Protein backbone atom coordinates (compact mmCIF):
# COMPACT_ATOMS: atom_id res chain seq x y z
CA UNK A 1 0.00 0.00 0.00
CA UNK A 2 1.38 3.37 -0.99
CA UNK A 3 1.85 6.00 1.70
CA UNK A 4 0.68 8.92 -0.41
CA UNK A 5 -0.51 12.06 1.32
CA UNK A 6 -1.98 14.90 -0.72
CA UNK A 7 -0.73 18.46 -0.52
CA UNK A 8 -4.05 19.51 0.99
CA UNK A 9 -3.80 16.90 3.74
CA UNK A 10 -0.25 17.97 4.53
CA UNK A 11 -1.35 21.61 4.66
CA UNK A 12 -4.28 20.82 6.96
CA UNK A 13 -2.11 18.75 9.31
CA UNK A 14 0.42 21.58 9.51
CA UNK A 15 -2.30 24.21 9.93
CA UNK A 16 -3.96 22.30 12.79
CA UNK A 17 -0.58 21.77 14.48
CA UNK A 18 0.18 25.50 14.29
CA UNK A 19 -3.35 26.64 15.25
CA UNK A 20 -4.65 24.37 18.05
CA UNK A 21 -7.52 26.78 18.82
CA UNK A 22 -9.09 25.84 15.49
CA UNK A 23 -10.05 22.41 16.87
CA UNK A 24 -12.68 23.97 19.17
CA UNK A 25 -14.03 26.11 16.35
CA UNK A 26 -14.19 23.06 14.10
CA UNK A 27 -16.14 21.15 16.74
CA UNK A 28 -18.51 24.08 17.27
CA UNK A 29 -19.19 24.28 13.53
CA UNK A 30 -19.84 20.57 13.33
CA UNK A 31 -22.23 20.74 16.30
CA UNK A 32 -24.06 23.64 14.67
CA UNK A 33 -24.69 21.87 11.35
CA UNK A 34 -24.37 18.09 11.83
CA UNK A 35 -24.50 16.80 15.39
CA UNK A 36 -28.22 17.02 16.09
CA UNK A 37 -30.29 14.73 18.30
CA UNK A 38 -32.35 12.32 16.22
CA UNK A 39 -36.11 11.87 16.74
CA UNK A 40 -36.74 8.24 15.82
CA UNK A 41 -40.53 8.55 16.18
CA UNK A 42 -40.69 11.45 13.72
CA UNK A 43 -38.42 9.60 11.30
CA UNK A 44 -40.67 6.51 11.46
CA UNK A 45 -43.81 8.62 10.90
CA UNK A 46 -42.24 10.36 7.92
CA UNK A 47 -41.17 7.11 6.30
CA UNK A 48 -44.63 5.57 6.81
CA UNK A 49 -46.37 8.64 5.39
CA UNK A 50 -44.30 8.79 2.21
CA UNK A 51 -46.09 7.93 -1.02
CA UNK A 52 -44.08 5.84 -3.49
CA UNK A 53 -43.44 7.60 -6.77
CA UNK A 54 -44.60 6.14 -10.07
CA UNK A 55 -42.03 4.65 -12.44
CA UNK A 56 -42.87 7.31 -15.01
CA UNK A 57 -43.47 10.60 -13.26
CA UNK A 58 -45.65 12.20 -15.94
CA UNK A 59 -48.00 9.22 -16.34
CA UNK A 60 -51.56 10.29 -15.44
CA UNK A 61 -53.19 6.82 -15.00
pLDDT class of 1 with cuts at 50, 70, 90: low
* Total-model pTM: 0.48
Average pLDDT, the chain: 89
With a pLDDT cut of 70, the percent of the chain lying above it is: 95
Whether pLDDT at 17 is above 80 = yes
Residue 57 lies in a domain: no
What average pLDDT does this structure show over 21-28?
Answer: 92
Structural domain for 24, as ranges: 7-49
Instruction: Return the closest-CA partner of residue 5 out of 58, 17, 13.
Output: 13
Residue 31 lies in a domain: yes
Q: Is 35 left (phi over 0), alpha (psi -120 to 50) or beta?
A: beta
Residue 61 lies in a domain: no
Amino acid sequence: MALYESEHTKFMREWMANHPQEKKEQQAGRALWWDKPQDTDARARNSEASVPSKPYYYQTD
